[in-house]
């Protein structure tokens, strides 16, 4: 009896360890290695019933991640992983090469403008410590504004920032131990003094008053409870006046009626308006509420509803001018459009369309994968995508197209950030291009690199292709492929395939030193734009979402099959990779077609799809996955949930699973339970 490698690692091991595992896993398995000695994992008697169906859950005890027994189990698992990875003769050379590719010089963030000053982050090569720098005007000399690192405790890191409109205050978020919860600290720019520290926030996104006197934010309460696995407290919108204690903050909107509801806030326009987006258990639909702050006589006035969500869709406020609120929406327009809503006449019949729906999708649902849209001064800037093509477009407020720039395949990771009224900043990262900060001048329509890192490779050494392949039902799916130019495509190359296909995320490549290392060692990299993503708008997303999730898995498998047919690789030489919400997709593909893959590389995933709603206080993923509360959706989830589809009759390729110990969206018990079941129940004879 041979036990295949199925092991777990902390996310910190990811870049080097995963490259080692994928390069060596197939040869390790082929050598009939009996495998490492896994720690014993006890089984418990636990049976749940869903709609009359009994479901066994023998590793339920691993959900208690703070239990000393679970912590001990996890650390033993990590020792198994470290021992295996570091025994590889390739360990040191891979680690050295990845470090070289990360050493591209300091990594610059996108500047934020306030009071004539540009403030931006600078981090050391390899995503090291972050400091804030500043320059007075574009031509100003760069100088250090603030180094937050001396005051950070062990495990703390800066994650997100916000600059007040007048540039007097910088807010920066400090998170602990990979948690999505953090403390917002307020720095007085002129003195470098850190004042207030606000808790109970999930990000640094706030709505500043134009005079810098305070800001609106979403407050969740005691984040310590949430890190311990409790449900999120119902959020409320609060106003914080600078110089006062957080305990004196004023409530603008009371706690949401349901725990899965959440808010987003912004202050827009010269008038100005407070705009609140209310998401009711999903990030794919929301309502809009607005307050006219110029007429309120104070910072607290209960917003009134101007979009009731009766036609489901995204309503994203972009900014305001004298004629009303400019809003992106995909309601009734799957590819998106921009309308103007008069707050005094918010009925739909009075909306004015500024940018109509077109054949390319306005990528505005999120900032992931190059999705970006913004109103800056008298201009609307947006990214439009259709499959692997993308354009950065600038419109006047009357809808006239002013400029259009075709973008290479890559990721606009920061979205679009307004500087002065006549410029927009964005960062771009491609597979062969480290993150570069660009400035687009509205007057000329030209985008120029402003902060460009050193390029540690010769781009001519690599080939990138954008093609299409047929899925199981005949649908043509876009696919990005990359490899070294001198690679002979005879079917012998190992191939690493990454897919996502959820929540409208557009599959585009970004700079990854481990993937360059992979290609330098004779590997091929592939990224299909599977259904569930946003390559062709809402219809493409819906086709791989919820009860249609098997379609996304079929697309992922079909990509691997096509790559084998085209002799990019061969069966058994493919590493299936998924991350976060797509971890289940990659794991399910390997389980359904173990003959096709040589390894499963699953990062910070959701793998128990019958209980993910219980682990994750935020309910926004139920639209993408479905809910066990619905009998049809339960049946679909049960059919592919990786934890529930481990078979003792199937010989699986090796797996490595990484987890984030403090991640509250995809918490570590997903990885723990799946790995335990694979180790204890999946064997090969």
Question: Taking residues 496-504, what's their average pLDDT?
Answer: 92
> Which of 31, 144, 105, 104 is CA-nearest to residue 516?
104
Domain count, the chain: 3
pLDDT in tens, 148-171: 999 998 888 898 899 999 999 999
578 with 490, same domain: the answer is yes
Residue 94 falls within a domain, yes or no?
no
CA distance 545 to 624: 5
Judge if 568 and 620 occupy the same domain: yes
Domain contains 315? yes
Mean pLDDT of 368-393: 78
Residue 225 lies in a domain: yes
334 lies in the same domain as 208: yes
One domain, residues 443 and 580: no
Q: What are phi and psi of 378, to 5 degrees?
A: -100, 30
Task: Tell whether 95 is covered by a domain.
Answer: no
Residue written as token pair 């129940």: 681
> How confident is the model over 307-335, as pLDDT tens digits?
997 888 889 999 999 989 999 998 989 88
| Per-residue pLDDT tens digits for 234-292 | 788 999 999 999 999 999 988 766 656 788 899 999 889 999 998 876 667 789 999 99
Shared-domain flag, residues 663 and 590: yes
Instruction: State the CATH number of the domain containing residue 153.
Output: 2.130.10.120
Residues in the chain, how many?
685
pLDDT given at position 131: 94
Average pLDDT of the residues in 390-416: 87
Residues 525 and 634 in one domain: yes
Q: What pLDDT score does 503 carry?
A: 83
Binned at pLDDT 50, 70 and 90, residue 685 comes out as very low
Q: In terms of residue numbers, what domain contains 281?
A: 106-361
CA distances from 652 to 447, 588, 599, 678 (A): 49, 11, 9, 9
Looking at the structure, do residues 48 and 161 belong to the same domain, yes or no?
A: no
Same-domain status, 49 and 175:
no
In a domain, 3, yes or no: no
Other residues' Cβ atoms within 10 Å of the Cβ of residue 91? 16
Q: 115 burial class (0-12, 13-18, 19+ CB within 10 angstroms)?
A: middle
Q: According to the model, what pLDDT value does residue 13 have?
A: 47
Domain boundary among 331, 361, 391: 361
Residue 140: its pLDDT value, please? 93
In terms of average pLDDT, the best of 161-165, 432-436, 567-571 is 567-571
pLDDT band per the 50, 70, 90 thresholds, residue 12: very low
**pLDDT given at position 414:** 62
Q: Is residue 52 part of a domain?
A: yes
**Domain co-membership, 25 together with 140:** no
Own/partner contacts of 29-36, CB < 8 Å, gap of 24 or more, are 29/4, 29/5, 29/598, 29/653, 29/654, 32/2, 33/2, 34/2, 34/3, 35/2, 35/3, 35/4, 35/5, 36/5, 36/7, 36/80, 36/83, 36/84
Final residue of a structural domain among 361, 378, 398: 361
Query: By the 8 A CB rule, do 537 and 531 touch?
Result: no
Q: Same structural domain for residues 434 and 474?
A: no
Residue 179 scores a pLDDT above 80:
no
pLDDT attached to residue 480: 95
Average pLDDT value for residue range 61-87: 90
Last residue of a domain, one of 361, 393, 416: 361
Q: What is the pLDDT of residue 366?
A: 44
Residue 538: which CATH number?
A: 3.40.50.1820
Whole-number average pLDDT of the chain: 86
Phi-psi region of 177 (alpha: psi -120 to 50; beta: other; left: phi over 0): left
Within a domain: 92: no
pLDDT of residue 1: 33
User: Residues 195, 307: one domain?
Assistant: yes
What is the distance between the alpha carbons of residues 253 and 277, in angstroms, rounded to a whole number? 11
Task: Count Cβ neighbours within 10 Å for each residue of 243-262 and write b for 16 or more, e otherwise.
Answer: eeeeeebeebbebbeebbbb
Mind listing the pLDDT tens digit for each residue in 31-53?
A: 445 567 788 899 999 999 999 99
- The Cα 491–Cα 495 span in angstroms is 10
Whether 445 is in a domain gets the answer yes
Clarify whether residues 214 and 357 are in a common domain: yes
Write out pLDDT tens, residues 194-224: 989 999 888 778 999 999 999 999 998 865 5
């Amino acid at each position: 009896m041979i036990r295949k490698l199925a092991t777990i690692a902390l996310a910190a091991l990811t870049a080097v360890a995963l490259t080692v595992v994928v390069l060596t896993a197939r040869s390790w398995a082929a050598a009939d290695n009996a495998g490492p000695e896994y720690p014993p994992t006890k089984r418990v008697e636990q049976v749940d019933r869903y709609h009359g169906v009994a479901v066994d859950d023998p590793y339920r005890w691993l959900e208690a991640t703070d239990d000393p027994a679970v912590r001990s189990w996890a650390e033993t698992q990590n020792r198994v992983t470290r021992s295996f990875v570091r025994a590889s003769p390739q360990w040191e050379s891979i680690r050295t090469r990845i470090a070289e590719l990360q050493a591209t010089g300091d990594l610059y963030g996108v500047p934020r403008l306030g009071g004539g000053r540009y403030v931006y982050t600078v981090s050391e090569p390899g995503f090291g410590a972050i400091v804030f720098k500043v320059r007075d005007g574009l031509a100003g000399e760069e100088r250090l504004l603030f180094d937050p690192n001396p005051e950070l405790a062990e495990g703390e890191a800066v994650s997100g920032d916000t600059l007040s409109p007048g540039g007097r205050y910088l807010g920066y978020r400090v998170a602990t131990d990979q948690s999505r919860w953090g403390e917002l600290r307020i720095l007085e720019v002129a003195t470098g003094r850190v004042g207030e520290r606000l808790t109970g926030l999930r990000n640094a996104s706030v709505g500043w008053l134009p005079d810098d006197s305070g800001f609106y934010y979403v407050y969740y309460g005691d984040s310590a409870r949430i890190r311990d696995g409790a449900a999120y407290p119902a959020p409320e919108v609060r106003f914080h006046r600078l110089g006062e204690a957080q305990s004196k903050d004023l409530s603008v909107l009371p706690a949401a009626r349901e725990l899965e509801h959440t808010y987003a806030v912004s202050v827009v326009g010269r008038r100005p308006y407070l705009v609140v987006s209310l998401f009711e258990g999903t990030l794919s639909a929301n309502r809009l509420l607005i307050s006219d702050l110029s007429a309120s006589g104070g910072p607290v006035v209960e917003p009134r509803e101007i979009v009731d969500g009766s036609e489901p869709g995204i309503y994203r406020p972009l900014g305001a001018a004298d004629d009303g609120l400019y809003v992106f929406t995909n309601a009734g327009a799957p590819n998106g459009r921009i309308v103007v809503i008069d707050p005094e006449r918010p009925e739909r019949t009075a909306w004015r369309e500024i940018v109509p729906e077109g054949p390319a999708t306005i990528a505005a649902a999120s900032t992931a994968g190059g999705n970006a849209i913004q109103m800056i001064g008298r201009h609307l800037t947006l990214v439009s995508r259709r499959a692997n093509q993308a354009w950065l477009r600038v419109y006047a407020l009357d809808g006239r197209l002013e400029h259009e720039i075709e973008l290479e395949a890559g990721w606009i990771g920061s979205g679009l950030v307004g500087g002065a009224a006549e410029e927009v900043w964005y960062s771009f990262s491609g597979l062969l291009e480290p993150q570069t900060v660009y400035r687009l001048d509205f007057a000329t329509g030209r985008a120029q690199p402003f902060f460009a890192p050193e390029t540690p490779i010769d781009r001519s050494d690599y080939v990138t292709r954008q093609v299409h392949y047929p899925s199981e039902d005949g649908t043509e799916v876009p696919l990005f492929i990359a490899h070294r130019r001198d690679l002979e495509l005879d079917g012998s190359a190992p191939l690493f395939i990454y897919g996502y296909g959820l929540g409208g995320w557009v599959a585009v490549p970004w700079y990854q030193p481990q993937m360059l290392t992979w290609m330098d060692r004779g590997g091929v990299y592939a990224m299909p734009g599977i259904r569930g993503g946003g390559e062709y708008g809402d219809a493409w997303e819906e086709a791989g979402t919820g009860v249609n999730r098997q379609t996304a898995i079929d697309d992922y498998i079909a990509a691997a099959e096509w790559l084998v047919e085209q002799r990019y690789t061969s069966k058994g030489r493919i590493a299936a990779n998924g991350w976060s919400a797509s971890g289940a997709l990659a794991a399910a593909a390997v389980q359904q077609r173990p003959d096709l893959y040589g390894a499963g590389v699953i990062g910070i995933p959701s793998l128990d799809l019958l209980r993910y709603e219980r682990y994750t206080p935020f309910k926004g993923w139920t639209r993408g996955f479905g809910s066990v509360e619905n009998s049809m959706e339960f049946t679909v989830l049960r059919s592919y949930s990786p934890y529930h589809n481990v078979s003792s009759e199937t010989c699986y390729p090796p797996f490595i699973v990484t987890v984030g110990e403090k991640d509250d969206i995809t918490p570590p018990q997903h990885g723990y339970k799946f790995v335990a079941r694979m180790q204890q129940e999946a064997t090969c004879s």
